[in-house]
Copies of this chain bind each other. A is one copy, B any other.
């Protein structure tokens, strides 16, 4: 069963393309489809790999351009965890979440905490800010790595 709390990003993309006089293309649709149906935090290379599994002729630049487009539209969020690769994750399709990152094995766990977000809004307000979005990353060691 699909989650319909939010609009289908595919439809949002189509609407944006129509509204801005852009055009759809085989590659763009494939990249978007692979991206939207993925979980997690894909680098461009990882995404390209999955895309090429279905169509080997897709170029790297097209993936970069498509992800930039999706990020502009707000359908993809860029993240930099410090390994030198920009990673993208679907935004609209899922609840907002933050990240727990194991500095030993690199595992990434997502979480979401409403209390923290309330506090964030409060802190921001104290400084005169209205927050539109945030990024929070907790770095540490996961249970598995600690066991060793």
Report Cα–Cα, A123/B98, bound state, in Å.
Answer: 11
Tell yes or no: A146 within 8 A of B by CB.
Answer: yes
A31 to chain B minimum Cβ distance, whole angstroms, is: 22
- Residues 70-110 of A, flagged 1 when their CB comes within 8 A of B and 0 if not, give 00000000101010000000000000000010110000010
Measured between beta carbons, the chain B residues less than 8 angstroms from A123 are 100, 111, 113, 116, 138
Give the residue of B116, B141, B143 whose beta carbon is less than 8 angstroms from that of A132: B141
Number of copies of this chain that the complex holds:
2
Contact B127 A132 (CB under 8 A): no
For A124, the chain B residues whose CB sits under 8 A away are 100, 138, 140
Q: Is A135 an interface residue (CB 8 A)?
A: yes
Contact code string A116-139 (vs B, CB < 8 Å = 1, else 0): 100110011011111111111111
Q: Are B127 and A111 in contact (CB under 8 A)?
A: yes
Q: List 18 A-B contacts (CB under 8 A).
A: A100-B123, A100-B124, A102-B129, A109-B129, A113-B123, A119-B119, A120-B136, A124-B138, A128-B142, A128-B144, A129-B140, A129-B142, A131-B139, A133-B139, A133-B140, A134-B136, A135-B136, A135-B137
B-contact 0/1 string along A31-57, CB 8 Å cutoff: 000000000000000000000000000
Chain A interface residue bracket vs B: 35 or more
Alpha-carbon separation in the docked complex, A133 to B5 (Å): 33
